[in-house]
Chains A and B, each alone.
Chain A
Amino acid sequence: MIREALFFSAVLFVIGVVGVLTRRNAIIIFMCVELMLNAVNLSFVAFSLMHGVAGQVFVIFTMTVAAAEAAVGLAIIISIFRHHESLDLKNVNLLKG
Chain B
Amino acid sequence: MRYHLFYQFHFYLFGLIAIASAITFVTRRSPVTAALWLINTMFCLAVLYIMMDAQFVGAVQVLVYAGAIMVVFLFVIMLLNLGRIDEITDIKGPGIRIAAGGVALALIAELLVLTRSKTLSTLELPPAQENIVNPVAAPLFHDYLLPFELTSVLLLVAIVGAVIVAKRRT
| Contact A12 B64, beta carbon cutoff 8 Å | no
Complex Cα–Cα for A68 and B39 (A): 18
Q: Which of B47-55, B100-108, B112-120 is the interface stretch?
A: B47-55
Chain A: interface size category: 35 or more
A-B contact count (CB 8 A): 159
Given contacts A27-B82, A56-B54, contact A71 B72 (CB under 8 A): yes
The A interface is mostly helix, strand or loop, or mixed, namely helix
Q: Which B1-46 residues have a C-beta within 8 angstroms of A?
A: 8, 11-12, 15, 18-19, 22-23, 25-26, 31, 34-35, 38, 41-42, 45
Residue of B nearest to A70 (CB): B69
**Cβ of A1 under 8 Å from chain B:** yes
Given contacts A8-B18, A42-B45, A74-B73, contact A61 B12 (CB under 8 A): no
Residue of A nearest to B139 (CB): A57
| Contact B11 A64, beta carbon cutoff 8 Å | no
**Cβ of A89 under 8 Å from chain B:** no
Interface mask (A1-40 → B, CB under 8 Å = 1, otherwise 0): 1001101100110011011001101011011101100100
Across the interface, B155 reaches (CB within 8 A) one of A25, A64, A77, A81, namely A64
| Contact A53 B139, beta carbon cutoff 8 Å | yes
